[in-house]
Amino acid sequence: MSQFRLEAVQRAFGERVVLNRLSLSIAEGEAVAVVGRSGCGKSTLLRLLAGLDRPDAGRVTIDGTLVMRPRPDVAVVFQEPRLLPWLDVLGNVMVGLGGKGDRGQAREQALRALRRVGLAEAAAKLPKTLSGGMAQRVGIARALVRRPRLLLLDEPFSALDALTKIELQGALDRIRAEDGPALLLVTHDLEEAAALADRVVVLETAPAGIVLDLAIDLPHPRNRRSAAFQAIEARLARALGGADAAEDDPGMERAA
């Protein structure tokens, strides 16, 4: 079984220690959300798993192999979609394939990815003509086009309006159910974390330590108005607020 691990990872920027001997593992097909206040190392953790950064100490591994650089089986969706303005939507998604293989086949793969995020009809549009939600859909399609084993998302919906955010969260939930990639979602949105993740990890302020690792057993799609869902949100809020989460439960807590 695939496994993605950070083992006793430390990362500092100058004298500022952001991650201090932090350990975290993600199983094959598991969705983990990481929440915490600004500066607690959430995005640094994601960049380490993506191979975009390296730890000062400790190990980052996939199936026991050290992550030293970006890998084709790991894809990232950033807060900004980072589309190339001179390429149309289809061309931007094809960038995710790295320019390898048959162009006709790559085009079909890209069109399939666009259909999955509801944007097949926008294939010929340029990025400047897209709404924020449409542009982020293109970014998601570009990440999904090569069917990654691990999908990393860094605040992907934070710049969107509430309705568009919920729509894209639902699309991501459906795609994950179909493809089954492991997922790491970095977010400030506790409702988003509770809606999408199998586990939510709460980090304290840098140097980051885990104060709560909460498993969520509610079925997908989740009813955000249910008492069980709202109890999970409240539990996360208490942990994020420093309400002695570790003392309440020193290991993983399960919510259902």
Q: What pLDDT, in 10s, does the model give residues 119-174?
A: 989 999 999 999 988 999 899 999 988 889 999 999 988 888 888 888 888 888 88
The rounded distance, in Å, linking the Cα atoms of 229 and 227 is 6
pTM passes above 0.95:
no
Among 176, 179, 184, smallest CA distance to 67 is for 184
Distance CA(97)–CA(46), nearest Å, equals: 21
- Whole-number Å distance between alpha carbons of 226 and 229: 5
What domains appear along the chain, each with residue ranges and CATH number?
A: 3-73+151-255 (3.40.50.300), 83-147 (no CATH)
DSSP single-letter state for residue 1 = -
Reply yes or no on whether the pLDDT at 37 is more than 50. Answer: yes
Strand order in the sheet with 65-66: 16-27, 3-13, 57-62, 65-66
In this predicted model, what pLDDT tens digit does every residue of 63-85 receive, in sequence order?
999 999 999 899 999 888 889 99
- Work out the pLDDT band at 101, boundaries 50, 70, 90: low
CB contact at 8 A, 214 and 199: yes
Q: Which amino acid, residue 129?
A: T
Q: Could you report the per-residue pLDDT of 161-213, keeping only the tens digit for each?
A: 888 888 888 888 888 888 888 999 999 999 999 999 999 999 987 666 899 99
Q: Which two tokens stand for residue 110?
A: 């890209």
Q: Where are the beta strands (DSSP E) in 128-247?
A: 150-154, 182-186, 199-203, 210-216
| Confidence check: pLDDT of 118 > 90 | no
The reported pLDDT for the residue numbered 256 is: 45
pLDDT in tens, 211-250: 999 999 999 889 999 999 999 999 999 998 863 433 333 3
| 138: its two tokens | 């293109």
Query: Is 85 buried (19+), middle (13-18) or exposed (0-12) by CB count in 10 A?
Result: exposed
**Rg of the Cα atoms in the chain:** 18
Number of Cβ within a 10 Å radius of residue 256 = 9
**Cα distance between the two ends of the chain:** 25
- Kind and range of the H or E element at 124? none
Find out whether 31 and 182 touch, Cβ atoms under 8 Å.
Answer: yes
* More confident position, 200 or 39: 200
How far is residue 164's CA from residue 168's CA, in Å, rounded to a whole number? 6
The phi-psi region of residue 181 (left if phi > 0; otherwise alpha if psi is between -120 and 50; otherwise beta) is beta
